[in-house]
Amino acid sequence: MFDSQKFHLTLENFSETVEQIDAALSKEKLTRKECMNAQLLLEETFMRMVNLGGAEGAQVTISKRFGDLNLQLESEGAEYNPLISATDFDEGDEDYFRTIILKSNAAKMNYARKGSKNLVFIQVHETGSRQMYYTLFGMVAGIIAGLVLRFAAPPEVISIFSETIVGSVQTMFMNALNMLIAPVVFFSIIGGITGLTNSASIGRIGGKLIGLYSLTTIIAICVGLTMAHFAFASGVPQVGIVEGTASVEKISLLSSIVNIIPKDLVTPIINRGLLQIIFIAVIFGLCINKLGDKVKILNDFAKAANIFCLTLITAVAAFIPLVVFFVMAALVINLGMDSVILLSKLLVCYVIGSFVMLGTYSSILLIFGKISPVPLLKKLPSFVAVPFATSSSNVTMPFTMKFCTEKVGISPKISSFSIPIGATINMDGTAIFYSATGIMLLKMYGVEIDSAAIFALVLAIFTVSVGTPGIPGGGIVLMAAIVGMFGVPAEAIAITLGIAPIDDRINTTTNVAGDIGVSTILAKTENLLDTSIYYKI
């Protein structure tokens, strides 16, 4: 889990030691690009520390932690940050081309001063698994702590832990999520709609692509609802009663449609009226695209605001392991192992639902593409580790396009268009998550699930899945908004945080598999699929 190697680097042993470091990095199964990039950054940083900072040498440490690999340069001497000079240069500088190496990799580097030492950190490889490990550790530790408190602690201690400590941590975390619900939904939907409209404007191919993605999303919602119906038919612990459940029972098709249009722009945001916020966002997105350059400033603002909101989500998500520890401990204390069994059922729903969707993609490929899905099914296992590891459709996008072109035989004319759109609007795995989790939470809070409730749930899930951020944990906020339509408190989402990292990876893998499947169908129907590559195993 944790490992490190140390090297002493000086001008005298520079070449020999750099070769040793390169050999050590090569053993870590890094790509050649990562090794070369690390070597360039190491050499340039060291030379700056010696020539400009007056260092006599540096201790280089290769540290490995949870799959992440980093280099640390440590040197004695006066305070000197070699990264500052990398931000102030022009083409007339003698070391312009060397400096641009540092500038282009600034996000991967950091500087710190510790006592009399200058420390420079270089990120060589990031797996993105730390959050998963931390969260799993928090979940296991929380279960153990809960069992210990349940059977060994006096009632007074349990009361203080559950109400004061867990209640405070959970309230702060869920308040942060509640704060983000309206802006995340609003700007994510605008981003999805503007991208969709721009791409669909190319005509027939865009319309066909959108139709296929919509079809698979509807199927995914039905799969999730069906799985949840059987998994949570009985044995669901009751944790609360929704006030005003009678109002939910009166939901009808007509009222659902009429109430989508709000009376003003402020009330939906204050009350977190999800469907109304979505309606406003869709209208805004379509109008922004229609007006084009006339409202470019609005388009740029919406994109910037979306990035800002996603950054906030990432910051809040960093506290998930801590919240998971307290939540799981409290669940075990209050519900015993029933909570663990409940989450296990939910996870099984996700896994089985993903396999059902894989069969769905195969059937659609056979029916619409009139081509055997077997070659694609044989190739997918070698690729799914990428989306599973990144837990992000957006991050996986370039790898997905490369796989489609080189391994599946899809023309770049299709893959360069369908994959980015799929990363935005095709969220089949996320739709299964919304459906199964939604049914479980509604039952836990005593909401009657009739045809009207199912309609409202399907409508919300289908629309929200289009704008779900393609980043780890992006669906948590939107899930809170969906169940909030029925009066379920946002705090209820904390129940699922224990399996959130695993669920994120399953969802992303399903989403990306759907992108590849639909792209293959589209390429085949447009005669842009190289069958010699497709059938080559």
Which has the closest alpha carbon to 487: 423, 441, 452?
441
Per-residue tokens: 128:
């993105």
Distances (CA, A) of 468 to 87, 229, 278, 395: 35, 24, 12, 15
Please name every residue paired with 60 in a beta bridge, in sequence order, or none if there are none: 7, 73
CB neighbours (10 Å) of residue 181? 19
Q: Tell me, which fold does domain 131-534 have in CATH?
A: Proton glutamate symport protein (1.10.3860)
Give the ranges where 404-473 is alpha helix by DSSP (H): 412-425, 428-444, 451-467
Q: Kindly write down the DSSP assignment for every residue of 355-386, as one continuous string.
A: HHHHHHHHHHHHHHS-S-SHHHHHHGGGTTHH
CA–CA gap between residue 468 and residue 189 (Å, rounded): 8
Please name every residue paired with 76 in a beta bridge, in sequence order, or none if there are none: 117
The alpha-carbon radius of gyration of the chain (Å, integer) is: 26
CA–CA gap between residue 29 and residue 227 (Å, rounded): 39
Per-residue tokens: 53:
């900072």
State residue 113 phi and psi, 5-degree precision: -115, 120
Pick among 3.20.20.210, 3.30.565.10, 3.90.1150.10, 2.40.160.100: CATH of 2-126: 3.30.565.10
Question: 0.85 cut: is pTM over it?
Answer: no
CA–CA gap between residue 75 and residue 72 (Å, rounded): 10
Please name every residue paired with 2 in a beta bridge, in sequence order, or none if there are none: 65
Segment-wise mean pLDDT, segments of 10 residues, the chain, 537 residues: 77 88 80 80 86 86 78 88 60 55 72 87 72 75 86 84 80 75 74 57 68 89 90 73 48 58 79 72 82 84 80 75 80 66 83 92 90 90 73 72 86 77 79 88 82 82 67 65 78 73 81 91 87 82
Domain ranges across the chain: 2-126, 131-534
State residue 331 phi and psi, 5-degree precision: -65, -45
- Residue 471 has a pLDDT of 54
Which has the closest alpha carbon to 493: 428, 445, 427?
445
Residue position matching structure tokens 């129907």: 525
User: Under 8 Å CB-to-CB from 241, ≥6 apart: which residues?
Assistant: 445, 446
CA–CA gap between residue 109 and residue 481 (Å, rounded): 37
Per-residue tokens: 506:
């399953």
Which has the closest alpha carbon to 478: 529, 522, 438, 519?
438
CA–CA gap between residue 247 and residue 486 (Å, rounded): 9
CA–CA gap between residue 189 and residue 412 (Å, rounded): 27
Q: Could you write out the three-class secondary structure of 462-493?
A: HHHHHHCCCCCCHHHHHHHHHHHCCCCCHHHH
- In b/e form, how buried is each residue of 264-299, taking b as 16+ CB within 10 angstroms? eeeebbeebbbbbbbbbbbebbeebbeeeeebeeeb
- In b/e form, how buried is each residue of 372-387, taking b as 16+ CB within 10 angstroms? ebebbbebbeebbebb
- Residue 520 has a pLDDT of 92
CA–CA gap between residue 30 and residue 44 (Å, rounded): 20
Can you say whether the dihedral through the CA atoms of 313, 317, 323, 328 is positive or negative? positive
Per-residue tokens: 488:
């379920």
98-102: long-range contacts at Cβ-Cβ below 8 A with a sequence spacing of 24 or more?
98/44, 101/40, 101/41, 101/44, 102/41, 102/44, 102/45
Q: Note whether 417 and 514 are within 8 A (CB).
A: no
CA–CA gap between residue 432 and residue 439 (Å, rounded): 11
Give residue 135's identity as a one-letter amino acid code.
T
Name the burial class of residue 27, with classes exposed (0-12), middle (13-18) and buried (19+) by CB atoms within 10 angstroms of its CB: exposed
Q: H/E element holding 59?
A: strand 58-65
Q: H/E element holding 281?
A: helix 274-291
